[in-house]
Amino acid sequence: MSKILIIEDEEAIADLEKDYLELSDFEVAIENTGDKGLETALSGKFDLVILDLMLPGMDGFEVCKKIREEKNIPIIMVSAKKDDIDKIRGLGLGADDYMTKPFSPSELVARVKAHMARYDRLVGSSQKMNDIIEIRGLKIDKTARRVYVNGEEKIFTTKEFDLLTFLAENPNHVYSKEELFREIWDMDSIGDIATVTVHIKKIREKIEFNTAKPQYIETIWGVGYRFKI
Amino acid sequence: MSKILIIEDEEAIADLEKDYLELSDFEVAIENTGDKGLETALSGKFDLVILDLMLPGMDGFEVCKKIREEKNIPIIMVSAKKDDIDKIRGLGLGADDYMTKPFSPSELVARVKAHMARYDRLVGSSQKMNDIIEIRGLKIDKTARRVYVNGEEKIFTTKEFDLLTFLAENPNHVYSKEELFREIWDMDSIGDIATVTVHIKKIREKIEFNTAKPQYIETIWGVGYRFKI
DNA sequence: TAAACTTATAAAAAATTTATTAAAAATGCG
DNA sequence: CGCATTTTTAATAAATTTTTTATAAGTTTA
């Protein structure tokens, strides 16, 4: 199922868009500031972004530019002023479409579908450039299998990389050691899952500033681990 | 230089569009019927099509659909009636953009540029077609099938050359031995892919200063190989 | 706070993967 | 066909990763 990120500070509008998109079977998330929106967009979980121009914090121009530096996913920019639309079109920020408020929900859905279809058509099954996950200072390049922490590359082994990538791709979700084992090791955990603990430790040594107070992979005592977004 | 095809029966309009696009350094051709337009579009010589909806012979709907069956190039559809635009948008013909006449020439140029940029961004007209790959001290001449390391020619066998070229053309991407085998040997690896390892070693002997610390082809333990850019 | 339980850490042992070498097989060419 | 070259196979060595194990440290619960 395709995932759409709405970056919009007017709650009523965002909710309305969300409702209509969900009726068309899209999965929708909303962020209400530019900064949070950018971060979520760069997490790599979304297939399309609907971006309002006027936002608290970082504005839409900037967010669009920053997303484009890393991602090729379709971006639909939305503004209340027709003049702004003409202006940003000329700036060549790399947005894929521009809509002036107010617009009909069905038009939004139609455009979203069209952009998704084109993206699939062009990028298709080939190499998706969309394989960079970035959360705060952590950057994971999936095809190159490289990990950077605050710009510095850290060398990861296969299992470490797979485990970190899985957690980072599914943030804010607690996984038990058994679940992680099944996910990365492709088999049922017959008893011993101590190796998961050891791998988590090794990952933390590479990505955390202070392993005792992890910023990325949290321990949920008695349950498992969670990647904090 | 990018080439644009205008399919439009009103000569005055077509000429006007042509003039403006040429001012922006595009190469432009005009066809005035649907049938001829389709044929020219399918010739493969054009990077973008501007397609009028009302045409003698085959109409714009049909032309758009037929182009899409063969080509992914951007198509901008043009119509005098706003209603028609809404209608075709819903049809999902695969057009990339829709404009209602009359429109300003500068808007046309802006849209053309945006679509070209996106197409390049997603499909990557980059250096893939280049005959000579040069990365640091390594130079690969594809048509001559010669390899130079710091100016000195090294003799490569067929498989060695193909393997090195594939990796160098797709740098920063980790390929497993199986993938490399499929790519170079044109068949599924039924079990043994040890030959890939041996070829990598032979290539390294020729291009690396110290095969134990490869500067070009890195080993990603447990995964495969990666050409370092 | 002590007991019970869970996770973190460290180091070694085990397993896996790749590099190297050499010989065998296949291919291409005169 | 026979020779030279390329490619593949196979066996061993070397390197690296993964798992195990033991112990320490941190939480929770009664």
Domain ranges of chain B: 3-123, 132-227
User: Is A204:A217 a contact under the CB 8 Å cutoff?
Assistant: yes
In chain B, what is the greatest distance between 2 CA atoms, to the nearest angstrom? 68
The answer to whether B173 contacts chain A (CB < 8 Å) is: yes
- What is the average pLDDT score of chain B? 90
Tell me the two tokens of residue B57: 């012979």
Closest residue in B to A70 (Cα–Cα): B121
CATH architecture, range A3-123:
3-Layer(aba) Sandwich (3.40)
Q: What is the DSSP letter of A136?
A: T
Residue bearing the bigger pLDDT, B89 or B159: B159
B6 pLDDT more than 50:
yes
A113 contacts on B by Cβ (under 8 Å): 92
User: Is B102:B14 a contact under the CB 8 Å cutoff?
Assistant: no
User: Is A71:A62 a contact under the CB 8 Å cutoff?
Assistant: no
Give me the half-sphere count of Cα atoms (radius 13 Å) on the Cβ side of residue A164.
33
User: Is B50:B40 a contact under the CB 8 Å cutoff?
Assistant: no
pLDDT at B155: 96
The four Cα atoms A168, A130, A119, A7 give a dihedral, to 10 degrees, of 50
CA distance to partner chain A, nearest, from residue B210 (Å): 20
Task: List CB contacts of A126: < 8 A, sequence separation 6 or more.
Answer: none
B217 pLDDT more than 50:
yes
Which residues surround strand D, with CB < 7 Å?
Answer: A 155, 157-160, 185, 192, 194-195, 198-199, 212, 221-222; B 155, 157-160, 185, 192, 194-195, 198-199, 221-222
**What is the arithmetic mean of pLDDT over B37-65?**
92
- Name the least confident of A129-138, B33-42, B158-167, B203-212: A129-138
The fold of the A132-227 domain, in CATH, is: Arc Repressor Mutant, subunit A (1.10.10)
B9 pLDDT more than 50:
yes
**pLDDT-derived band at B189, boundaries 50, 70, 90:** low
Mutate to test the interface with A, among B220, B228, B229 (most CBs of A within 10 A): B220
Note down pLDDT in tens along chain A; length 229 residues: 889 999 999 999 999 999 999 999 999 999 999 999 999 999 888 999 999 999 998 999 999 999 998 888 999 999 988 887 777 776 778 888 889 988 889 889 988 998 998 888 887 645 455 688 999 999 999 999 999 999 999 999 999 999 999 999 999 999 999 999 999 998 876 667 899 999 999 999 999 999 999 999 999 999 999 999 8
pLDDT at B126: 47
Mutate to test the interface with B, among A106, A107, A116, A122 (most CBs of B within 10 A): A122
Q: Do A92 and B113 touch (CB under 8 A)?
A: yes
Q: For B97, left (φ over 0), alpha (ψ -120 to 50), or beta?
A: beta
A110 contacts on B by Cβ (under 8 Å): 89-90
Backbone angles phi, psi at B11, to 5 degrees: -60, -40
Give the pairing of strands B27-31 and B138-141: unpaired
pLDDT at B106: 86
Q: Do B72 and A122 touch (CB under 8 A)?
A: yes
pLDDT at A191: 62
Residue bearing the bigger pLDDT, A4 or B188: A4
- Name the least confident of A145-149, A170-174, B122-126, B194-198: B122-126
Q: For B145, left (φ over 0), alpha (ψ -120 to 50), or beta?
A: left
Q: Do A143 and B172 touch (CB under 8 A)?
A: yes
pLDDT at A196: 97
Task: List CB contacts of A75: < 8 A, sequence separation 6 or more.
Answer: A48, A49, A51, A64, A67, A68, A94, A95, A96, A97
The reply to whether domains B3-123 and B132-227 share a CATH topology is: no
The answer to whether A157 contacts chain B (CB < 8 Å) is: yes
Give me the residue label for tokens 């952009």: A115
Tens of pLDDT, residue by residue over B153-185, are 999 999 999 999 999 999 999 999 999 999 999
Residue of A110, A144, A157 lying closest to B89 (CB–CB): A110
Q: Is the pTM of this model over 0.85?
A: no
pLDDT at B120: 85
